[in-house]
Every structure is written in structure tokens, then in C-alpha cells.
Amino acid sequence: MGDFTLDLNDDQRSVRDWIHGFAADVMRPAAAEWDEREETPWPIIQEAAKIGLYSLDFYAQQFFDPTGLGIPMTMEELFWGDAGIALSIVGTGLAAVGVLANGTEEQIGTWVPQMYGDAADVKVAAFCSSEPDAGSDVGAMRTRAVYDEATGEWVLNGTKTWATNGGIADVHVVVAVVDPELGTRGHASFIVPPGTPGLSQGQKFKKHGIRASHTAEVVLEDVRIPGDCLLGGKDKLDERLARARERAASGGAGGGRNAAMATFEASRPAVGAMAVGTARAAYEYALEYATGREQFGRPIIDNQGVAFQLADMRTQIDAARLLVWRASWMATAGKPFTSAEGSMSKLFASETAKKVTAQAIQILGGNGYTREYPVERMHRDSAIYTIFEGTSEIQRLVIARTLSGVPIR
């Protein structure tokens, strides 16, 4: 494992520039159209697949980058292009991470390739955790998975919500309750294969931002899946549940990892990188506008009120990127988040994106408030970062609990 560095190597710079070119030439020209249509931009995903940008191989290379910077670098450039289209391209990754975090080697090899398909037949996948009454409070989850001893199958019932690619995905990764008495320690993750009877799409949400990304409910009605679709396998689950029951009986809090939280822990710095990309896009547009827009006979950047805002925007973006890179490097290096560094990166970058995009609108004035200029869309898109995969309030709770050792509520 190499030392932490702020310098990208030649290969990383080449990949970054390649992604940036796709974001600038393919994604940005299409961004406004797909935002208005509120539909999955399949042609853009297919273009990404043709050049290898939407593929298991590419994301595996970035995931296993020994510096830890491959994924945050990729996310920043894609979301610099457009957040809605980018989420359509990378949304499958959350389901893939769900399998990587909880599955066996055989399950990873079987299911993750099917999530992407290939350039000739593009597929997407969905990670289904949140429910109508269980968002931040994963302990309130109601979707049940019951093992049928007679057939060796798991039977799933419940409703998931806020699922990216939910219902249109070929492969769904579903978090469900297997032992309600154990709370969050009684959860497990399951693969629902393509075409499984009983799984259907519920309501498709019309959203404030990231409108090119498909978000919907997923309804599970007596969904029967083979026993080997339990991620990690039944023996491992039984052992984990036994440990949790033993600790609960002795007055402990239960043992083992929560399936949904294991996925979110791995993805939080990546979400921070998405936020950095959107913030950087808004800052760059505002800077260019401020140097070209004239009022009272001079460029508006000559005014300290504008120039100081831009200085703050760039400073906050760079600080957010540093937190993201630190957390990403630590995760790859196997260093524990003893101060909740992953949550720190997601919290600060998310809040920075909302603030910077709002400042960009202010710098553009009335123009910034119209859909003729992209900062309006960037501001709408930025709102999601402080909400999904753990709200800012949840990130602060995680950080405070980690720092204090106190179960703050």
C-alpha cells in the first residue's frame, strides 16, 4: 500500500481526462433535455458502454486502484458533467457494492457482471433498502424474508422506496428482515434475479433534481428466490444471528454488521466525490460568467462582493475534495474510520455542493434563476447529496457517536 499522495499518476490523469472528455462532449450537451424529459437516458448509458465507461471492468479497475483515488476521481468528473445522467450511469454501482460488501466470491462473480450487461445489451441494477417508514431509521424496516425449508427458497414480502433504477433493473439487491427481534442485526441482503415473479415497480417519483435518474418504489409480493441468493450464504447468516442472539440474551447490543450499513459505509466518500463534481461545475461556470459579465462598465468579478464569494467557493470545494480523498485512501489502505472520516467527507462535501450552487445562482443574478443557464439545474441536483445514503443529520450523529463513544440519539 502506497503512501498518501495528492498527485495523480500518469495513468490516473489519462483516465481522468478521458472521463472529462465524455462528460463535456456527450453528457453536458444532453443534460437539459434529459432533465426535462425525466427519463432514463439510455442512449447516453449505451454510449458510455461502447467506450467501456459503463462496464464492470472499468469500475473494478477504479475500485481496486491501490491509491484509493480511482472511484472519487471518476465520480467527480462524471458529476461535473451532469448529476442526473451521471447517477443513471453509476447507480448500478451501489447494487454492485452491496454484493461486494456482503456476498461470497461465487456470488460476486455470478451477479455483478449481470448488473451491467455489455455494450450490445446494456443492463442496470438497483439497491433496495429504504422503505416508506424506514429511511434513516433502518431499524424500522418491515420487508420480511422467510426461509421455506421445504423448497430451500427465501420468500420476500414488502415495499421498498427511493430505489435508483427500481423496477427497471435486471438485478435487484434487497435488504430484508430475517429476525425482527434482533433489530438492525436481524437484516440480510438478497439477490432478486431478472424476471422473478412477484417483483414489480410501484410509484415512479417526479423529483426536484437528478431527474434523468429513475427513482421508484419496488413492490415485493411473495417473491420466491433460490436459497443461494442470500448474500453471504445461510451458514454465515445463521452464525451471525446466533452471535447476535447470544449477546442480546446477555444484555449486549447484538453482534455482526448490518447489511445496509455495510453498503453505505463503503459508498459515502464516493457520494462526497459526486457532490464535489457538481460544486466544481457550478463554481467554474460562475467564475467564467463573472469574468465576462459587465455591469457599470467593468466585469462583475472586479467587485469584492463577487470575487470573495468565488474565493470561498473554490476553498470549500478543495477542502471537500481533500476530505473525500483522505477517506477513500483510508478505506483502501484498510485504516479504520476512528473519527468517522467517511461520514465527515460525505457531510462536508454535500453541504458544500448546496452552498456553492446557491452562490453560483446569486452571482448570475436573474440569469441564474432560469433554466437557460445550467447553475439552476445544478442547484436542484445538489439538494440530493444531503439526503440520500444518510442525511446530513445522520452523518453528524455518526460522527458525534464515534468521537464521544456515547450512543447519542
Contact 22, 79 (CB under 8 A): no
Cross-strand pairs, 226:
153
Distance CA 152, CA 147 (A): 7
Distance (Å, whole) CA 194 – CA 191: 9
Torsion of CA 216, 220, 221, 224, to 10 degrees: 150
Helix 70-81, helix 10-22: angle, nearest 10: 20
Query: Hey, CA dihedral for 388, 393, 396, 401, is it positive or negative?
Result: negative
Active-site choice (106, 351, 389, 393): 389
For the question of residue 389 being annotated catalytic, the response is yes
- Per DSSP, what are the bridge partners of residue 148? 153
DSSP bridge pairs for 122: 117
User: Which phi and psi angles does 374 have, rounded to 5°?
Assistant: -75, -15
Q: Which residues pair with 146 in a beta bridge?
A: 155
Count other C-beta atoms under 10 Å from residue 21's C-beta: 13
Catalytic residues: 389
